[in-house]
Structure 1
Amino acid sequence: MTGASFEVALELWASSLREAKARMRPLFLQERMARSAGLFLDGLLGAERRKTGWMRAEAAGDPGPWRQQAILGRGRWEADALRDVVREYALETLGDADAVLVVDETGFLKQGKLSCGVARQYTGSAGKITNCQIGVFLAYVSRHGHALIDRALYLPKAWTNDPARRAAAHVPEEVEFATKPRIARTMVERAIEAGVPFAWVAADTVYGVSEIEMALRRAGRGYVLGVTGAHDFNSWIGKPEVVGSAAEIAAALPSSAWRRLSAGEGTKGPRLHDWAYLELADLEADAYVSGYEGLWTRGLLIRRHVADGELAYFTTWCPTGTSLETLVAVEGRRWAIEDAFETAKNELGLDHNETRSWHGWHRHISLVMLAFAVLTVARHRANAAAEQTPPRVSRAARRSSAGPFRRSGASQDVSASAASDPRSSSPGQSGAVPIRPASNALI
C-alpha cells in the first residue's frame, strides 16, 4: 500500500477541498449562500456520524440548521449544474480512454408518504420490498480511481400520475415516468454528449435490456450487462451453434469451457470465479455506427461462484478479438459503485437527506457526490506524490555503505534533498499516512 507523508497528505486534502469549493462558487448568486454551501461540504466531510442539518450546523458554528437547510430548500441554484461540476472535476484526475461507466441503483429508507418518490418498492439496500426512495447512479471507474458522476431519483407511476403529490414535492412539469433502464440510458447519453472518455458500460440485470444495448452499439461502446438465466441467446452463421436460455446454455457446457480468473482485488484478496465465454456473432461496426470500421462480437459471458456454483449471466458487445480476461476485468469494475455507495452512506451522509422535495434530493445527492470526488482526487494525488518522493535512507544503511563515522558524498546528497523536500516526513513522525491505491488497469 502506498502513502504520502502526513504533511503532504494534509496539504493535498486541503487543496483538493479548496478547489472543489472554488468550482462550485459560480453556481451561487450570493456570497453568503456560497459560504453556506462550502460549510455544507465541510460538514459532509467532517467526523460527525450523522450528517443532519443540526449536526452540520453545529460543526459550522451556526446557531441553528436554517442556513444548512436553505442550501437544499429555498436557495436558488441548479443541482444539475453542480452535477456537471462534479463530473468535470473528477474527470480531470480520473479520465482514461479505457474507463468503465457503471450503472446501479441504491435505496433510501423512508417513513411516511411525503418524501418525493417514496413508495413500497424493492431495494437491494434492505434486500426486500419496503418504504423507500430509489436513486439511479452512474459511476466513472478507471485505473486512477472512481467517482459518482450522475444521479436521478426514480419516480414510480403513483407519483408521476398524481398532480397533487407532484406539486407538493415540486416535481418539475417536464419530468415524466421513466423506467430505470431509460434513466440509465439518458445518463450514459449525457456522458457521451459531454465528451466523457470511456470504452465500456457495466451493469446488473436490471439494465441488461435491448434499449441500452442498441444505444451503446450506436455509440460505438462495449458493454457487459447482466441478464437473467431466462434470457434467450442464439448464435449466427460462422459460430458454433448455440441456442436457448442462458441457464440452458450454461448447463450444457463441458468442464473444459470454464477458466478460473480474478475479477479484481477484493478486501480478502483476488475475487476468483470460474468463467465461460461464448462468441455468438461477428457484426460490422458500420451497421450501427456510420463510418466505423471493423468487426464487433456479440457474446454471452457466464460467471460461476467457486464455493456454491451459483451462476450469473452477461450479454456482451466488444471489438472482435477481445479477450476473456478483458471482459472479466470490465465486469469486475462493478464493485466500484458498491464501494462508492458504502463510503458515501457510512462517511458522507448520502442517505441522511432530510428534505422532501425533488430539488432537495438532487441537491443533497450532488453535494455528497462532490464530497466523494474530493476524497478520490486527494487520494490519487497523494498516491502520485508518494511515488515521486525519494526513498528515505536509514542511518544503518548509511553506515553500511560509508562506515560508522563518515558519510559518502552520495549519502550527503540524499540527506540534503530529503531535508529540502517539503513532502518528506519531519523527524519524529512514525511513518506515512496510508492511502488506498487506485484500481488496477484493465487487462
Structure 2
Amino acid sequence: MVASYETDRPNPVNEGLTTSAEDVSLLTFTTNIFGHLPRVDQRRWAHAYVTALLRTKGKKSIRRLADTISPSPAATAQSLRQFVNLSPWDWRPVLHALTRWAEGHGPVTAWSIGRALLPKRGEQSVGVHRQFDPSSGQTLNSQLGLGAFLRIGTAHVPVGWRLYMPHSWINDPRLRQRTRVPETEHYRSPWSHALGLVDALAAASASSPVVADMSDDPDVRLFIQALNERRHTLVVAVSPHFKVIPGERSASTASLLSAKTCLSSGTVRDVIVAEPDGAQRRTRILSAPVRLPHFRPSTAPERPHQLFAECGPGSRLGPVWISTLPERRLSDAVSLTALTTSTTSTITAMARCFGLLDFEGRSFPGWHHHMALVSTAYAFQRLGRSRPPMPPRLGASEPDQRASA
C-alpha cells in the first residue's frame, strides 16, 4: 500500500531535519524554491528529498534516501517515490525560483548549454533510445537531457532542463500514454531544445553571452540564426565543415566556404585568456571575420561574426568556434569557450554526488521532477554555504527581447 500523501497525514521525516544552523538554512532555501507548491505535504516532501540528496553517500536510490532521513524507511521510500513520480506539481516554477535565488549570489557572467547522457537499462524509460556515448566510445540505451547553466563566479548552476524525445517516442501514442508525455510535447531537435532553454532564461534573467558546443549538430546554423534574431551574444562551437561567407562580403551563398578553409587564411595572434578559476594563460589563436548565409527569411540585421580556433602543438587546430564578439574582444571569446568543459564537469559532479543518474521512474513528469530536485540540491551545495569569488565579467551581451501543479 502506498503511503498516504494528503496534508492531514504526518510526514514521517518532519522531525529531526532542522536541528543545526545549516539545517535551518536549508529549510529556508527549500521554502523559497518550493514555496509555490499548492500543498503543505508537497513542500515538506520536497525539503525531505533535497535533504536526503545532500546527506546520502553513494548511490541515491529512493530506499537509500529514505534510510538517511527517516526511522520508517519503507513508508518514507514509498512517499518519496510517489512525490517524484506521481504527484502533479509543476517543475518549471521550481527552476524559475532557483534562477532568481542563484542570481542573488553574484552576477551571472554567461549562460552555458550542456548535455547529459543518462544510460538506462531496457527501453521502458521515457525518451530512451540508442545513442553514441563519446566518453565510453559505445552506443548505449540512454536518455538525452539538455541543460541550461548560469555561470556565477566559478560555479555553474543548473536552472533548466529539456528531455530530447526522438520521433519513435513522439509518434507512438502507446508510449506517450504509458509515460505520461503531455499532448503539447512534439518533436524538437537538440538545437531547438537548446534555444528553448535560452528563451526561458531570457524571460527570467538579464541577458548574458550564450556558450554552447554544437559541433555535432548538423542544424547548428538554425540555432545561431535564432540567437542572432534575438540579439544574443554567442560563442558556439561548430563543425570544421560549417559553411560561412569569408570576410566582410554581403551575405549571399555564392562564396560559401568551410570554417576550416576560412581559418586556413586567417590571422594568427597571441591572446591572454582567463580560465574558469580566474587564472590567466597565454594562447595562440587563428581567427577570421565571416558572415553567415541566410537559409531562411529573417528580418534581423546582418551581424559580423568571428571564427576562431586555438593553435595546439604542431600548429594543430583545436575546436572551431564562432562568436559575435568583435575582433578586439577575441580574448574574451576564447575565455568563454572553457565554460563548456566546466559545464560538463558540473554534470559529472551531479551524476557522481547528487544522484543525477539514479532516477527510479519512467514518466515524463517524473524525469523533470527528478532533474529539478537534483539541480536544487547541487545549487545549495555549491552556493548555499558561501559566496564564491567573482571573476571579471566577460562578453557583455547586447540588449535582447525578453502550469500550475
**Distance in structure 2 (CA, Å) of the matches to 1:297 and 1:21:** 44
Equivalences for residues 365-380 of structure 1 within 5 A? 365-380=371-386
**Distance in structure 1 (CA, Å) of the matches to 2:125 and 2:339:** 32
Provide TM-score, normalisation by structure 1.
0.74
- Out of 198, 202, 218, the position equivalent to 1:192 is 202
Matched, 1:75 2:82: no
Instruction: Give a deviation string over 1:56-88, Cα, whole Å, max 9, x none.
Output: 010111331101101112223112221222222
Matched, 1:30 2:39: yes
In the comparison of the two structures, how many residue pairs are matched?
362
* Shift in CA distance, 366/192, structure 1 to aligned 2, threshold 3 Å: same
**Distance in structure 1 (CA, Å) of the matches to 2:101 and 2:332:** 28
2:143 corresponding residue in structure 1: 133
**Distance in structure 1 (CA, Å) of the matches to 2:189 and 2:180:** 20
2:226 corresponding residue in structure 1: 215
2:98 corresponding residue in structure 1: 86
1:248 corresponding residue in structure 2: 261
2:65 corresponding residue in structure 1: 56
Match of 1:323, SS? helix
Paired AA for residue 334 in structure 1:
T
C-alpha displacement of 1:345: 0.9
Matched, 1:342 2:348: yes
Equivalences for residues 367-406 of structure 1 within 5 A? 367-381=373-387, 383=388
**Distance in structure 2 (CA, Å) of the matches to 1:343 and 1:439:** 22
- Out of 357, 365, 384, the position equivalent to 2:363 is 357
Match of 1:102, SS? strand
Paired AA for residue 302 in structure 1:
A
Provide TM-score, normalisation by structure 2.
0.81
Equivalences for residues 264-275 of structure 1 within 5 A? 264-265=275-276, 273-275=283-285
* Shift in CA distance, 300/310, structure 1 to aligned 2, threshold 3 Å: closer
* Shift in CA distance, 77/248, structure 1 to aligned 2, threshold 3 Å: same
Match of 2:151, SS? strand
**Distance in structure 2 (CA, Å) of the matches to 1:362 and 1:79:** 7
C-alpha displacement of 1:365: 0.4
Instruction: Give a deviation string over 1:197-244, Cα, whole Å, max 9, x none.
Output: 2331111114672222222222222111111111122234479xx963
* Shift in CA distance, 30/321, structure 1 to aligned 2, threshold 3 Å: same
Paired AA for residue 36 in structure 1:
W
Contact kept in structure 1, 2:270 and 2:282, CA below 8 Å: no
Paired AA for residue 30 in structure 1:
R
C-alpha displacement of 1:89: 1.6
1:418 corresponding residue in structure 2: none
Contact kept in structure 2, 1:94 and 1:146, CA below 8 Å: no
1:430 corresponding residue in structure 2: none
Range with bigger deviation, 213-222 or 295-304: 295-304
1:331 corresponding residue in structure 2: 337
Contact kept in structure 2, 1:272 and 1:306, CA below 8 Å: no
C-alpha displacement of 1:311: 2.4
Paired AA for residue 346 in structure 1:
R
Match of 1:186, SS? helix
Contact kept in structure 2, 1:236 and 1:281, CA below 8 Å: yes
C-alpha displacement of 1:302: 1.3
Instruction: Give a deviation string over 1:114-173, Cα, whole Å, max 9, x none.
Output: 100111112345443211111011111133632011101111111101110111111111
Instruction: Give a deviation string over 1:338-367, Cα, whole Å, max 9, x none.
Output: 121022111111111111110111000000
* Shift in CA distance, 52/333, structure 1 to aligned 2, threshold 3 Å: same
- Out of 127, 136, 145, the position equivalent to 1:117 is 127
The structure having more radius of gyration, on CA atoms, is 1
**Distance in structure 2 (CA, Å) of the matches to 1:301 and 1:17:** 44
**Distance in structure 2 (CA, Å) of the matches to 1:111 and 1:217:** 40
**Distance in structure 2 (CA, Å) of the matches to 1:18 and 1:307:** 55
Paired AA for residue 93 in structure 2:
A
Contact kept in structure 1, 2:56 and 2:65, CA below 8 Å: no
Equivalences for residues 240-319 of structure 1 within 5 A? 244-253=257-266, 257-259=268-270, 261-262=272-273, 264-265=275-276, 273-280=283-290, 288=300, 297-306=304-313, 309-318=316-325
Contact kept in structure 2, 1:141 and 1:336, CA below 8 Å: no
Paired AA for residue 23 in structure 1:
N
**Distance in structure 2 (CA, Å) of the matches to 1:439 and 1:15:** 30
**Distance in structure 2 (CA, Å) of the matches to 1:199 and 1:24:** 23
What's the RMSD between the two structures over aligned residues? 2.9
Contact kept in structure 2, 1:28 and 1:76, CA below 8 Å: no
Match of 1:137, SS? strand
Instruction: Give a deviation string over 1:2-28, Cα, whole Å, max 9, x none.
Output: xxxxxxxx85x5454223211134343
Paired AA for residue 19 in structure 1:
T
Task: Structure 1 unaligned segments of length 5 or more: list them.
Answer: 1-9, 290-294, 384-436
Paired AA for residue 179 in structure 2:
A
- Out of 108, 113, 125, the position equivalent to 1:103 is 113
Percent of aligned pairs sharing the same letter: 19
2:174 corresponding residue in structure 1: 164
Contact kept in structure 2, 1:106 and 1:136, CA below 8 Å: yes
**Distance in structure 2 (CA, Å) of the matches to 1:272 and 1:22:** 45
Structure scoring higher RCO (CA < 8 A, sep ≥ 6) equals 1
- Out of 220, 236, 242, the position equivalent to 1:225 is 236
Match of 1:113, SS? coil
**Distance in structure 2 (CA, Å) of the matches to 1:209 and 1:215:** 10
